[in-house]
Amino acid sequence: MDGRNSRKADHVGKQRRETTFDKVALEAARRWKRLDLDKARAELFHQRARDNAATYRRNIESYIGTVDIPVGLAGPLRINGRNGTAIYQVPLATTEAALVASYQRGSRLITAAGGCNVRVVDQGLSRTPMFAFEGLVDAERFARFIKDHSGDLHAVVAKITAHGRLIGARPIIEGNHVYVDLRFRTGDASGQNMVTFAADAVCKAILEQAPVKPEHWFLEANFSGDKKASSKTLGDVRGKRVAADIYIPRELVRQRLHTTPERIVDYWYAGALGGVMSGTTGIQGHFANGLAALYLACGQDVACVAESATGMTRFERTAENDLYASVTLPNIMVGTVGGGTGLPSAKACLDILGLAGAGNSIALAEVCAAIVLAGELSIVGALCSGDFAMAHLSLSRGEPMNKSR
């Protein structure tokens, strides 16, 4: 392409970007006009909305602006991951006072103990379509066809995405219904849209070849566990299954958490029984706090916290009277490409971690498990030492920490 054509192409591209920007900004202005706000506030929000219109056009519909949520840092957090040791400052976005301070305390405890070991032990993301038939005989015939021809479906997925791949197609019969657990690998993307597009193509390919046709079918029939806590994946995986553990010397527990390994184990038994009595999925203290703050800061799908915040926390006293602590999270849904990860604030937070872009989703999942472990150590320590209420009172209301116990 010669210089003249190149300049012309650049000019056309610029015009298209400006047209898109003006259109989105104009639509935002019209929405603000319909809102009943005083002129000064409306003008402030409208100006910010206009300035950011083009940036968010692929991430939001009926756009009117953005919301500010403060971001704090918890760290240093030392992680001994599959690919070596790294020390992180972890960005957490929240409006809840005391949250970052708690994760900061837990992170520093982990680092002082030499770091926690973290591994992603399994991966897989499901879509679960359902096919309805006249009766059980047809349903069983359809399920057998899928079992016999599942190997043919990999090529279908390859045509849809270069980053994802099918790793399993398991039919489950329920009366005259067949649920199909289509499981995919999604590379460095969280992959929700990727597996939706791929599953749609797989279903249509199956229907073209199946010896019996369903009366009707649905692309997702609520068996995957998408955005909800489920016992199905507690012992399996959705997204990334991650585990972290650490041994903490007794004296360090006393110095940093102001309690003992014995009292922490006592609390764990009480909390485990309380969880069983209340019917929770898994046994854990507050996975959602750290995950929501990290997901929000780093451009993840925050609604996935509904499923990600399930799992197991365990505390034990060792033979040497030290503390063993572990967390297992079977539903970590994170990516370092796609979705909201390229938006300015999310990209900045991923850059703080050094985990922006391709090749980093495993490490980000490791950070998720480690920060959750830090939070479990800190909150249980506070409950055991009697500092829990006072810490929140001090940090949220500015009152001094006067412990009378």
Q: Give catalytic status of residue 14 as yes or no.
A: no
Q: Give catalytic status of residue 96 as yes or no.
A: yes
Angle between helices 99-112 and 361-385 (to 10 degrees): 100
What pLDDT does residue 68 have?
Answer: 87
Per the prediction, the chain carries an average pLDDT of 90
Name the catalytic one among 27, 96, 245, 316. 96
Q: Give catalytic status of residue 149 as yes or no.
A: no
Residue-range domain boundaries for the chain: 21-66, 72-122+241-397, 129-218
Name the catalytic one among 301, 316, 322, 347. 301
DSSP helix/strand/coil, 39: helix
Q: Give catalytic status of residue 262 as yes or no.
A: no
Other Cβ atoms within 10 Å of 354 Cβ, number: 11
What pLDDT does residue 148 have?
Answer: 95
Continuous segment of H or E residues that includes residue 46? helix 39-52
User: By C-alpha distance, which of 141, 160, 237 is closest to 202?
Assistant: 160
* Residue 75 per-residue DSSP state: E
**What does CATH list as the number for 72-122+241-397?**
3.90.770.10
CATH topology of domain 129-218: Alpha-Beta Plaits (3.30.70)
Name the catalytic one among 46, 240, 286, 392. 392
Positions of the chain with pLDDT lower than 70, given as ranges: 1-21, 32, 36-47, 391-405
Name the catalytic one among 149, 163, 177, 227. 227
